[in-house]
């Protein structure tokens, strides 16, 4: 019975090897044809970015990775968060341009927008499948119930602040 050495049973780290095309029988091969330098092979669907990539290429790569890897529920939450940011910006611009005569109304509306954004960010973090290990005891249904309860309390205080 042959004994295996320790080196043969241990897994070795894999390094990307260059893919060299096999010579076909119809084309003659020459001694000058050398395999090209090894290139990094990107994962399926992601572009190959180098250190000198432009910011547009990087943004496109992030956007395509986001579209391919993010679950639909998380995208819906993200759209709602973008909406809340837009509402906050509109409220602030209106306050700067038109004035803030009922200041408590502006504060209440802006606080409601910021508070709802924070609650939605918490919901996104708790329901994201990538964070399953950190929130193993919180089910998505429980996270949504907490979100609704927090939203009701937030809006109750905001409505009372308007007076």
Q: What is the pTM of this model?
A: 0.66
Distance CA 144, CA 123 (A): 7
Residues 116-163 have pLDDT tens digits of: 999 999 999 999 998 999 999 999 999 999 999 999 999 999 999 887
Q: What is the sign of the dihedral through the CA atoms of 106, 111, 114 and 116?
A: negative
Residue with tokens 């956007």: 63
Distance CA 141, CA 127 (A): 9
Q: What is the pLDDT, as a whole number, of residue 41?
A: 45
Residue 56 token pair? 């547009």
3-class secondary structure, 132: coil
Residue 25 token pair? 């029988």
Q: What is the pLDDT, as a whole number, of residue 125?
A: 95
Distance CA 77, CA 140 (A): 13
Which residues of the chain fall below pLDDT 50?
5-6, 8, 10, 26, 28-41
Distance CA 144, CA 80 (A): 14
Q: What is the pLDDT, as a whole number, of residue 92?
A: 93
Residue 109 token pair? 């509306």
Q: What is the pLDDT, as a whole number, of residue 18?
A: 52
């Amino acid at each position: 019975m042959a004994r295996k050495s320790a080196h043969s049973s241990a897994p070795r780290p894999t390094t990307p090897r260059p893919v060299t095309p096999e010579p076909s029988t119809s084309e003659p091969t020459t001694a000058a044809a050398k395999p090209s330098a090894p290139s990094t092979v990107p994962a399926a669907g992601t572009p190959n970015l180098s250190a000198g990539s432009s910011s547009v290429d990087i943004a496109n790569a992030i956007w395509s990775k986001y579209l391919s890897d993010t679950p639909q529920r998380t995208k819906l939450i993200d759209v709602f968060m973008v909406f809340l940011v837009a509402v906050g910006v509109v409220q602030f611009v209106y306050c700067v341009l038109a004035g803030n005569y009922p200041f408590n109304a502006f504060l209440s509306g802006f606080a409601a927008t910021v508070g709802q954004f924070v609650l939605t960010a918490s919901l996104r973090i708790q329901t994201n499948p990538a964070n399953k290990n950190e929130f193993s005891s919180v089910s998505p249904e429980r996270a949504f119930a907490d979100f609704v309860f927090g939203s009701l309390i937030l809006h109750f205080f905001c409505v009372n602040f308007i007076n």
